[in-house]
Amino acid sequence: MNDGVNGVALGVFIFFFLAVTVMGFLAARWRKAENEHSLDEWGLGGRSFGTWVTWFLLGGDLYTAYTFVAVPAAIYAAGAAGFFAVPYTILVYPLIFTFLPRLWSVSHKHGYVTTSDFVRGRFGSKGLSLAVAVTGILATMPYIALQLVGIQAVLDVMGVGGGEDTNWFVKDLPLLIAFGVLAAYTYSSGLRAPALIAFVKDTLIYIVIAVAIIYIPIKLGGFDEVFGAASEKYTAAKAGGLVPLEAGQWTYATLALGSALALFMYPHSITATLSSRSREVIRRNTTILPLYSLMLGLLALLGFMAIAAGVKVTNPQLAIPQLFEDMFPDWFAGVAFAAIGIGALVPAAIMSIAAANLFTRNIYKDFIKPDATPQQETKVSKLVSLLVKVGALVFVLTMDKTVAINFQLLGGIWILQTFPALVGGLFTRWFHRWALLAGWAVGMIYGTVAAYGVASPTQKHFGGSAKEIPGIGEIGYIGLTAFVLNVVVTVVLTFVLKAFKAPEGIDETSPEDYTADAGDPGVQVELPPATAGASH
């Protein structure tokens, strides 16, 4: 790794960073509403985004700096097992095509801002709504932290922030500055900021990947050399391989399926979805978003290229930034680093907005101040979005980085437990609200305890996301095992509670709400701010 600061790369990085910062603050004036003091405006961009803006926003939201750094890093360290991210993003689109349009319709009809709003309206249960909200906030925190880890990896490779023996404040100052900028423009512009910046971020990422996938193999002697070098390394290390090892196939399959089910349970995925202007925008997006999966497959190959290029790093997360530093001219390395850095800012902004919306609507409004005005809701959301980012920053500055990665996997285990209430609720009211709550609790407890018991070479607890599946004996993704337990408990208890005629709660939705589109009777094209609280 270079000891000195790469001045040219740093200059290019700072140029792009300043450009998107200016865009972030200007975004407040983009499609400005008459009344911006509402959660619909600040937290959902006025629910006015069309196909292209939504595509860039969802892509910017799901394909993060962590994807750019960690997917190839997993392949660099462990071989083809890291490719699980590619099939899971392919599985996810047919899945969301079935339920996201329904969620958009019912949310637009009733003014729901969060998934917890929908769960409360569907099942008439504030307790279940609170469980979904708390899970969403919990799972999002380490995810934001990992975006900051992505920025930190780039800064480390550029030689900014000093070495390990430097005073912690000096070492982390560049990260603190990046954090401050992110916090400021998210606070002022809301969801419009990441929506506008996503255009720059995705364009940069496409350029960098297109160049990397052609230029680096040419410099290394072709793909034959790349795969040959990777195969040699795995054979010598007796770990990983160009195909998943037989012992790891259950892990690979369950991790891909579990991650696909979990991805659109995250609050930030739903926030980006609900910001679109019509049901048709969502349907169109689920058919064109797989283009990002093609990009992800090419991106993953960078892990093999880092091996072939002889990149030596103690922390695998630095492998790809280091590959760019070694292989590209300084100016283009700066462009690549800017793509990763901005790729961290977009999702971090959306995630903090989504977590803040959950707190405001489903904790503050439901339990603390039921008569909160739209202005008060927006003010609380803005403040909470700052607190969430501070929490994520503390995570990054105090935790061992390997712990942070595994906590993100724990976030996936947690968020998957909201699937029965959300997706189940979109298609049927058969599940009993108390059964859903009990199933959620069982899944959360099992998943957390099982993950706590996994050790790794660097830590005693939360060392990974795979463990033996009870009754099968194969090693599989803990999140999926917890999800199956959750569903079993929910179904059994629903039969029991229905037999005892336990009160079911009031469903404020009707069947036609799930297919409503903008412009239909009772569904306004643009929602006025007052609608956000009207149905509660």
* Lowest-confidence region among 39-48, 439-448, 502-511: 39-48
Residue with token string 């202005």: 375
pTM, 2 dp:
0.87
Under 8 Å between Cβ of 235 and 80: no
Q: Which residues contact 22 (CB under 8 A, 6 or more apart)?
A: none
Q: What pLDDT, on the 0 to 100 scale, is given for residue 180?
A: 82
Residue 318, classed as helix, strand or coil, is helix
HSE (CB half, 13 Å, CA atoms) of 389?
A: 32
Q: What pLDDT, on the 0 to 100 scale, is given for residue 133?
A: 95
Residue closest to 467 by CA, chosen among 243, 241, 254, 240: 254
Mean per-residue pLDDT, 446-462: 82
Q: Which residues contact 515 (CB under 8 A, 6 or more apart)?
A: 102, 105, 279
Neighbours of 449 (CB within 10 A): 11
End-to-end CA, the chain: 57
Q: Which residues make beta-bridge pairs with 477? A: 466
Two tokens, residue 535: 């149905």
Under 8 Å between Cβ of 296 and 89: yes
Domain architecture of the chain: domains with CATH = 7-401 (1.20.1730.10)
Work out the angle between the directed axes of helices 319-327 and 126-158 (0-180°, nearest 10): 30
What are the tens digits of pLDDT across the range 21-57? 888 788 766 655 555 566 666 666 666 677 777 777 7
* Alpha carbon distance 404, 134 (integer Å): 19
What are the tens digits of pLDDT across the range 50-106? 777 777 777 766 777 667 787 888 888 888 888 888 888 888 888 888 889 999 999
